[in-house]
Amino acid sequence: MINDEYFLAALRLAAGSDPIPSQVSAAARDIYGLRIPRAVTATPAARAAGPDVRDPDGCHLVRFVADGLTFDLEVTVGDGLIDVAGQVCPHPGEDAVIDVKTPHLTLTRHLAHNGNFAATGLPPGWLSVVCHRPGRAPVQTRWVRIRP
């Protein structure tokens, strides 16, 4: 025997008349706002000890590669906050900048001549790094979750 309430709910879903819950719409808008138009996504690449390594001091060492660029990131968690030290190789150009992004905060950094950059005091959680290169598509790392 079919429960009438479930049957009516199924009919409403099939007809598309049930509204999308507001929290689902809000989450979709938030995620859409994090996208970088035309960006190339760098994927994790193997380091000597693997793609995501935690060294004895608790640092995460991660490498990402795409579109001729390599991102080497050292992520450290201390006092409940995240510090990121990184290098982009080869250097993407004099006017290139790096955005270190969380869902609620973006820190923009200029690259040193050797491709190094750093950002400190980020909240724990999701993190992505974007390299903006003049005249070329930006390259972004996949989002990674850093926990204290």
DSSP of 47-105:
BTTBSEEE-TTS-EEEEEEETTEEEEEEEEEETTEEEEEEEEES---TT-EEEEE-SS-
For 44, what's the count of Cα atoms within 13 Å in the CB-facing half-sphere? 13
Token code pair at residue 128: 């992505």
Token code pair at residue 60: 């995460």
- Cβ distance 94 to 111 under 8 Å? no
The whole-chain average pLDDT of the chain stands at 87
Token code pair at residue 98: 């790096």
Q: Which residues, at least 6 apart from 30, have a Cβ–Cβ distance to it below 8 Å?
A: 103
Nearest partner of 60 among 127, 109, 134, judged by Cα: 127
Would you state the pLDDT for residue 30?
84
> Model confidence at 56, in pLDDT bands (50, 70, 90)?
low
Tell whether the model's pLDDT for residue 35 goes beyond 90: no
Would you state the pLDDT for residue 51?
47
Q: State the average pLDDT over residues 60-73.
A: 93
- SS3 of the chain: helix, strand, coil, percent, to 5: 15, 45, 40
